[in-house]
Structure 1
Amino acid sequence: MDAIAAPPSFYQLGRRKRIHLVRHAQGMHNVESDKSRDPLASFELFDAQLSPLGWQQVVDQRETVRRSGLLGKIEVVIVSPMSRTLQTAVGIFGGEDQADGLHVTSWQDSNVESRPPIVAYELCRERMGKYECDKRESISQYRSRFPGVDFSLAKDEDEVLWDPNERETLEAVNARAIKFLKWLWERKEKVIAVVSHGVFLQQAMIELFQNKNHYTLPLNNDYDPCSRFKNCEIRSVITFHESMMGLGSDSMICKQQRCGRIENQVLQIRESAKDKIPVEEVEVVT
């Protein structure tokens, strides 16, 4: 009797990535918007900087990331080219000499060479248009302020995406999120941090959890995956991409059993996330 090949395990479901999504710390525009939306159109909030509370959030999150060991695992940080996101990304993941106004004497262990590279990319910007706080500075200005950030992917020196008369639709933001996630999947790194904005990150999370081509699992279960991010909040997920399985005819088996054997494996990993067990240590029985 011919041996029957076992169905592929969950770890054979193609390439996987750990993505750590980070919303920028509190900006001055966040402080003003709590009072009224009107000031957001003021030039005084152009390319809004972090507030004093925002800087403290960065300090606290940097310490959390360092103590957890996450800092040593991230291979690259992708960041929106805006002051508040750059300040957050460099403040949490960069070296102390890159902090752009953040003065913390306790960061004695900072070693710039051991920090992950930080790459600016336009696709992960906030919903654009009308509000001055969402209009960016020139790339040359950012380069001088954030010398440790790679701006080589910035195609336009000056702002060309922001529209003073029309706010970008959520459908357009979602389309950008889809394009961005596809670009992220094509990168070689497996552990990636993304520092972006509330609306964009929310659309990205919705896409990750609702797209049928992904198996996405939260690695910290204390949030609603599709809810709005808090300032300086980090949400970590592991995502598997079906279109990159490369399993030949076996891939059809996986799709047919998605709600059966595969779903049971998903539940095992979900339980491991609740128990704070690293996904790599979960034993999957096929």
Structure 2
Amino acid sequence: MRKATSFKLSTLAGYFLQDDPSTDPDTFDYAKSNFGLIRRAYGSETEESKEDSQWQKFSREIQRLNGQAEPNTRYKVLFLGRHGEGVHNVAEKRYGTKAWDEYWSLLDGDEYGTWVDARLTDVGISQAKTARAAWEKQVKHSIPTPESYYVSPLIRCCATAQVTFDELDMPLTKPFRPVIKEANLIGMQLLRETMGEHTCDRRSPASTIATEFPQYQFEADFTEEDLLWDAKTRESNEDRNKRLFELLCDIFASDDNVFLSLTAHSGAITSILEVVGHRRFPLQTGGVIPVIVKVEGNRPRSK
């Protein structure tokens, strides 16, 4: 397995409403606000480009930033999507967070069903359809569409990505073949939720995932069974941050594309935002947040 290269990561604020401390995450609606894109002028604008859409101007601005960047510096745009509501989210609401964390989350389920590798509810599917409609709307305004797609191996994320992107009128969605991001022999570079104890975060066997999502791509080291989930130990926020930092470094070391989609979990996205220096911005289930990341450091040479 390739050892992850370490980069210096930071975020570039001032482009999206989610960057602004005055934007309330509890009431913000990404689908009704063009994913949060701020209507403003950029240094890349010309007289001829003033009539272009804001997304077209944004795309040129990212191109300008990369074109004028110092050596070993690049800019990436991450579209971070949280999975839709899962049956485990409903169970936590049913019992309350304290009882959920201390007792119910350690079980496989209750009288209403199982939440091991939790599935989407009807509400969760509807939230993924909302994300799909949001992308469809923004495509008409020339949003820069993802050039790479990554997804957590947990079923709720695979299903959210499927409903959102499959056969959408965008590049790389016909067919939709995201990379399931879990290089798990060393337990790092995982696009997964906080690890351990909670059975909703124990993934299904690779064969089950492959049967339900036959077009999805597995990394070479993906194991049949989940060798990483630990029934007795819950990952700390600090360790989760380290893991998600390693994930980003792994992607940035190997992926030359600028616009990247990651479908993941609330904890994973919280850590991604933290390690790039973005303000805390909890996403509702099914929510999406775009983030500009400045990547500084030498990339490994190809062998």
TM-score (norm 1): 0.68
Pair 1:42-2:107 in alignment: yes
SS at match of 1:34: helix
Aligned to 1:257: none
Once the two structures are overlaid, the 10-residue window that deviates more, 173-182 or 149-158, is 149-158
| Equivalent-residue separation in structure 2 for 1:235 and 1:72 (angstroms) | 14
Cα distance change on mapping 1:241 and 1:152 into 2, 3 Å: closer
Aligned to 2:234: 167
> What amino acid does structure 2 have at the position aligned with 1:24?
H
Cα distance change on mapping 1:18 and 1:52 into 2, 3 Å: same
For structure 1, which runs of at least 5 residues remain unmatched after alignment? 1-8, 96-106, 211-224, 246-286
* 1:1-286 alignment runs, 5 A limit: 10-11=65-66, 12-13=68-69, 14-36=73-95, 37=100, 38-43=103-108, 44-69=114-139, 73-95=145-167, 114=174, 117-122=177-182, 123-186=190-253, 187-209=255-277, 225-243=279-297
Cα distance change on mapping 1:72 and 1:118 into 2, 3 Å: farther
| Equivalent-residue separation in structure 1 for 2:251 and 2:231 (angstroms) | 29
For structure 2, which runs of at least 5 residues remain unmatched after alignment? 1-63, 109-113, 183-189
SS at match of 1:124: coil
| Equivalent-residue separation in structure 2 for 1:184 and 1:138 (angstroms) | 24
> What amino acid does structure 1 have at the position aligned with 2:293?
T
Report if aligned partners of 2:204, 2:225 keep a CA contact under 8 Å in 1.
Answer: yes
| Equivalent-residue separation in structure 1 for 2:80 and 2:297 (angstroms) | 22
CA RMSD of aligned residues (A): 2.3
Report if aligned partners of 2:166, 2:174 keep a CA contact under 8 Å in 1.
Answer: no
| Equivalent-residue separation in structure 2 for 1:114 and 1:73 (angstroms) | 14
Q: Give CA-to-partner distance per residue, 1:233-278, whole Å, 9 cap, x none.
A: 1110122223259xxxxxxxxxxxxxxxxxxxxxxxxxxxxxxxxx
TM-score (norm 2): 0.64
Q: Which has the higher helix share?
A: 1
What percent of counterpart residues are identical? 25
Larger-gyration structure (1/2): 1
Q: Give CA-to-partner distance per residue, 1:62-87, whole Å, 9 cap, x none.
A: 01112211787211110110010000
